[in-house]
Structure 1
Amino acid sequence: MRRWLFRLLSLVLVLFVVAFAGIWLLEFYPRHGSHPPLQLARGTLAIQHARIYVSPGDTPIEDGTVLVRDGLIAAVGTNVEVPSDATIVPCDHCVVTAGFWNAHVHFTEPKWSMANWKSAGTLATQLADMFLSHGFTTVIDLGSNPADTFSIRRRIEKGELSGPYIYTAGTALYPPHGAPFYLRETMPRWMVMLLPQPETPQEATSIVRRNLASGADITKLFTGSWVQRGHVLPMPVNIATAAVTESHLNGKLVFAHPSNLAGVQVAIDSGVDVLAHAADDTNGVDAALLSSAIRKNMAMIPTLKMFTTTVTTDPHYMDPICAEVQQFHQLGGTLLFGTDVGYMTDYTTEGEFVELGKSGLDWKTVLGMLTTNPAARMGVSSAKGTVTPGKLADLTILDADPATDLTNFSRVRSVVRSGKVVWQR
């Protein structure tokens, strides 16, 4: 009897060790070395006979050339000498802008699960479909499983995959007992219980500290969480403030999911840097509130198409949200482009540009949302955001001019990232 008991205990111990090793291998090992140094492509590229938008405020260069050498923009203009060894990127009177940013994405679809172990071919196809084919050279992940996001990011930067440069928030923070209903309806209960829902400022500080130490670039807070249909639970201000303070002490920005008036107010009071959405419940979100946010130097990512595709098909639902975005812009607020793709499974961008047009935004404003504004907000204007010699060769090449139609921003022909053509139609 004693011998059988010993064998049973030994078996249980072995199974425990195997299970622990499996969890470590799948969940924690992929997080090692999460942000490798940037690698620039070698060689020379040239884009000729292009209409070049150097920046939203500059007069476009007509029939110009962009010369790229060893990952950096070497020359831009109408009289650029192209060396004989340069690779010519097909253009035929195309439009060239700085590489597009998508400042609100997620890697939460099942196809990204265990990304460290998926084939490069599978992931490359998915990255092209979700990002590169829409012109995005840089994206900001606002909450996904770090084991997946870090793996994808690492494999891109090591040259195993073609994809965008990825900033990530790691895991988002929610109000106490405040996981959104749409996560509770789609995730296993044990997984929902693991979502960070700090109940004290000290707990929030500790979570942010661990998140940033693991490799996160920013912090994401649900300052207003839809815990039920029709009911938003705001994050307590002292908890949000603790998370923001710890992030800022580490030189990191904080993005907030606001949802309604209360969520926006918590974001303002706690010192959040970016509203990750326009508030979709616009009740009480007026000029005074938006002006208060702008005085705090808070930017906004509208994510308008997401509301039209995942919330309701009622065309009038968007009217007050578009008006909110328009008012924020007219009051002098900074807008960033983002789609919430990954949560939203329709990757096309044309609908977002349509809704931005309905919000009264012109092509220069939208180009700034895609290029200069996010580069400035993330503190990398010296390297990204304009088609300027000395900056990284992150370029988006379009078939048609967005100055004539905002939806032409969605007509992407080619994408260059760090001096390498990473996608061509």
Structure 2
Amino acid sequence: MKYAIFAAGLAAAGLMLAAGQGLAQTPAGESAAGQTWIHAGALLDRPGEAPRGASTLVVAGGRVAQVLDGHVEPPQGAARIDLSRQFVLPGLMDAHVHIFSDDDKTAARLEAMNRDAEDRFVVGLDNARRTLSAGFTTIRDLGSDPAAITALRDGIEKGLIEGPTIINAGRMISISGGHGDGANGLAQDYAALERGRAINTCDGPEACRRAVRLQVSQGAMVIKFAATGGVLSNVAGGLGRQMFDDEMQAIVETAHAFGRKATAHAHGKDGIMAALRAGVDSVEHATFTDPETLALFRRTGAYLVPTMIAPEAAVQQARAGQRPPAVLAKAEEAARIAFAEHVNQFAASGVKIAFGTDTGVSAHGQNATEFKMMVDGGMSPARAIRTATLDAADLLGLAETHGSLAPGKIADIIAVAASPLEDVTELERVTFVMRRGVVHKLDGQRQAFPPN
């Protein structure tokens, strides 16, 4: 039975309940003006638990004010949004994005020397808009120019730019010649220029402490470092460990001293284990895991962010000549791992998982395709959705304000036509997006921004 029919029944029941209750009343001394009352056909207010039936969400001042049973008619002066035939849930969160990465990899590579910072910023503006329209109301950007990502983040927060809430890392910290060294593969003159201005490369613990402090000084809200080689760096260094224990420990300790969480890019098992021993809060990719690795995740309590879309996308791009030659062998090595098998291990092992895609490798706005890969790997749709809501909020330090829909929480709300608990690919077709009480998408159509 189609969910729309089911939702219609819920809507009818909600209207009957509302008729019995009469019109909702606004507390004395408070105006209904500026309030938005959302009628939901079904409401997943707390992911991981059973959804509610017909419900009403009252939004005021960018936050959820009330969650009511049934479809309660709003008081005079309040706005009403009819989602009575739709499934409503919290805005999604992607813990691994590169918002300034161009989807056109060929153009980005060939035009790199002709693009100014302003050109790249325009790409980021469009990516941010598309990401929000796809239902991702919060992202963690794990590798962008510090000045650009800070400006984009702050412009969104001020309501000047349309996009998701951004938790940003600035540049990924890397050893010289490692994954994250922007001089890799450049001609000598350009490599010298890049190394002369880089603030993210370090060799030895003291230099790595300084690199963390410099990223913080440039606005980094989280610190990311390359514990191992990576697929997309233009150097044939493999995917194994690149940093020593004392370097990783120096990075993590300094990040924590500044009140920042630390996350490690890590593919090879040796790098994953070393990063976990150093005390990281999360590990990105964690490609080559095994029971020993997963046991250490459980002991430390660190989150694993799988990013399953990325290796597949990287292989296709490298084979098409859209990536440097050094990338292909590494991409194929990472893609050989049976991710379905790994997700099944993650889901059954008690490891904490947060949703992340490495979007920027794959196309922006298609973040939700990761959900199907998680479910195909043995994770339930309910668990997969939780990784992108409550669990991601916990990792990002936003658990008190994001990840569920309850009074006092930020009004980041999305809707889809049918239950994603039955078909998780519904999340690839988001019909409604509200961020901090502002509607950005309604009936599948982008809304004017700033709102009139």
Does TM, normalized by the shorter one, top 0.5? yes
Aligned to 1:291: 295
Q: Distance in 2 between matches of 1:84 and 1:117?
A: 46
Q: What secondary structure, in the 3-state scheme, does the structure 1 residue paired with 2:212 have?
A: helix
Residue among 117, 131, 139 paired with 1:114: 117
Residue among 270, 275, 278 paired with 1:270: 278
Distance verdict in 2 for CA 1:262–1:380, change over 3 Å: same
Q: Deviation per CA, 1:14-55, whole angstroms, max 9, x where unpaired?
A: xxxxxxxxxxxxxxxxxxxxxxxxxxxx92112214210011
Contact 2:415 2:432 in 1 (8 A): yes
Q: What secondary structure, in the 3-state scheme, does the structure 1 residue paired with 2:372 have?
A: helix
Distance verdict in 2 for CA 1:199–1:96, change over 3 Å: same
Equivalent AA in structure 2 for residue 290 of structure 1: L
Q: Check if 1:419 corresponds to 2:432.
A: no
Q: TM-score scaled to structure 2, two decimals?
A: 0.77
Q: Check if 1:105 corresponds to 2:97.
A: yes
Residue among 174, 188, 191 paired with 1:189: 191
Q: Check if 1:43 corresponds to 2:34.
A: yes
Q: What secondary structure, in the 3-state scheme, does the structure 1 residue paired with 2:175 have?
A: coil
Q: Check if 1:367 corresponds to 2:385.
A: yes
Aligned to 2:47: 56
> Offset at 1:258?
0.5
Q: How does 1:81-230 map to 2 (within 5 A)?
A: 81-109=73-101, 114=117, 125-129=126-130, 131-179=131-179, 184=184, 189-190=191-192, 193=195, 194=198, 196-226=200-230, 227-228=235-236, 230=238
Q: Distance in 2 between matches of 1:375 and 1:264?
A: 23
> Offset at 1:371?
0.5
Contact 2:87 2:419 in 1 (8 A): yes
Residue among 231, 240, 251 paired with 1:232: 240
Q: What secondary structure, in the 3-state scheme, does the structure 2 residue paired with 1:75 have?
A: strand
Q: Distance in 2 between matches of 1:363 and 1:231?
A: 31
Aligned to 2:447: none
Distance verdict in 2 for CA 1:115–1:45, change over 3 Å: farther
Q: TM-score scaled to structure 1, two decimals?
A: 0.81
Distance verdict in 2 for CA 1:233–1:197, change over 3 Å: farther
Q: What secondary structure, in the 3-state scheme, does the structure 1 residue paired with 2:179 have?
A: coil
Q: Deviation per CA, 1:137-156, whole angstroms, max 9, x where unpaired?
A: 11001011011101111111
Question: Percent of aligned pairs with the same residue?
Answer: 27
> Offset at 1:318?
5.7
> Offset at 1:91?
1.8
- What is the count of residue pairs matched by the alignment? 377
Q: Check if 1:256 corresponds to 2:257.
A: no
Moved more, 368-377 or 343-352: 343-352
Q: Distance in 1 between matches of 2:51 and 2:61?
A: 25
Q: How does 1:341-360 map to 2 (within 5 A)?
A: 341-345=359-363, 347-360=365-378
Distance verdict in 2 for CA 1:248–1:56, change over 3 Å: same
Q: Alpha carbon RMSD of aligned pairs, Å?
A: 2.8
Distance verdict in 2 for CA 1:159–1:86, change over 3 Å: same
Show structure 1 runs of 4+ deviating over 6 A: 116-119, 313-316
> Offset at 1:167?
0.6
> Offset at 1:360?
0.6
Q: Distance in 1 between matches of 2:53 and 2:286?
A: 36
> Offset at 1:229?
6.3
Aligned to 1:74: 65
Equivalent AA in structure 2 for residue 395 of structure 1: I
Equivalent AA in structure 2 for residue 292 of structure 1: L
Residue ranges of structure 1 left out of the alignment (5+ in a row): 1-41
Distance verdict in 2 for CA 1:144–1:74, change over 3 Å: same
Q: Deviation per CA, 1:141-191, whole angstroms, max 9, x where unpaired?
A: 101101110111111111111211111111111123213699835896356
Q: What secondary structure, in the 3-state scheme, does the structure 1 residue paired with 2:67 have?
A: strand
Q: Distance in 2 between matches of 1:113 and 1:89?
A: 42
Q: Deviation per CA, 1:51-70, whole angstroms, max 9, x where unpaired?
A: 10011233211121111011
